[in-house]
Chain A
């Protein structure tokens, strides 16, 4: 167990809807990264939040957005859902020490999203 939790575990939505996924980071960690994993593929980096601000973003459109809260938990929001958004969404927490270096990312169990 990594101490990283995600909710919900499973979710079914229809095209065009909006979804919010939640992640609680491991105690002592100040950074949350989000990944999308389509069936049969490796996880793809969406973005990272550090101290409540976006700290890097992968090749995902603006309808993927996020938040980080003062307790370092985080949300991933996806607007205007498309069928291809069906995937396992993973969050990972780590502890960045300013610009002096990062640490290992520990993953949560994921949220499986199905878009119909």
Chain B
């Protein structure tokens, strides 16, 4: 599976949009981009995933560049409860699918 690169940490003001970048320049054509987050000592929480089109759900939006070498997770109105470690993962969405977690981005939402 392709490797991802994310900033180690980011700050965001409460109520503002949080934009979390991820580079995955070696992504292959059939690999998906997944985003999970992990709040302290809890299990990772699925946020969103996509292949090449932009995606939106009730939690976030995922913007994938046309060449698919990078993506951005957008939390439109960050709250204090969004403080967490955010993981960007690329993975084949097929049998035997395993998720390879990197270090993630520690997002701190400040009042």
Cα separation A35 to B36 with both chains bound (whole Å) = 14
Chain A residue with the shortest CB-CB distance to B104: A42
Report the minimum CB–CB distance from A113 to chain B (whole Å). 13
Cα separation A106 to B44 with both chains bound (whole Å) = 8
Cα separation A102 to B99 with both chains bound (whole Å) = 12
User: What are the residues of chain B within 8 A of A94 when measuring CB–CB?
Assistant: 97
The reply to whether B93 and A107 contact each other, CB–CB distance below 8 Å, is: no
Chain B residue with the shortest CB-CB distance to A50: B95
Contact of B46 among A58, A99, A104 (CB under 8 A): A104
The reply to whether A90 and B95 contact each other, CB–CB distance below 8 Å, is: no
Chain B CB within 8 A of A101 CB: yes
Interface string of B92-104 (1 = CB under 8 A from A): 1111111111111
User: What are the residues of chain A within 8 A of B102 when measuring CB–CB?
Assistant: 42
Report the minimum CB–CB distance from B99 to chain A (whole Å). 6
Interface string of B18-36 (1 = CB under 8 A from A): 0000000000000000101
Contact of B99 among A45, A55, A98, A103 (CB under 8 A): A45
The reply to whether A102 and B101 contact each other, CB–CB distance below 8 Å, is: no
Contact A102 B46, CB 8 Å, known A42-B102, A42-B104, A88-B41: no
User: What are the residues of chain B within 8 A of A110 when measuring CB–CB?
Assistant: 41-43
Contact of A43 among B46, B49, B96, B101 (CB under 8 A): B101
User: What are the residues of chain A within 8 A of B46 when measuring CB–CB?
Assistant: 2, 104-107
Chain B CB within 8 A of A56 CB: yes
Could you name 5 residue pairs across A and B whose Cβ atoms are closer than 8 Å? A43-B101, A94-B97, A98-B95, A99-B95, A104-B46
Q: Which B residues are within 8 Å of any A CB, using their own CB?
A: 34, 36, 41-46, 49, 87, 92-104
Q: A2-B43, A101-B94, A104-B49 are in contact. List 18 more A-B contacts (CB 8 A).
A: A2-B45, A42-B101, A45-B100, A48-B98, A50-B95, A55-B95, A58-B98, A92-B44, A94-B97, A96-B97, A99-B95, A101-B95, A102-B96, A103-B93, A105-B99, A107-B43, A109-B42, A110-B43
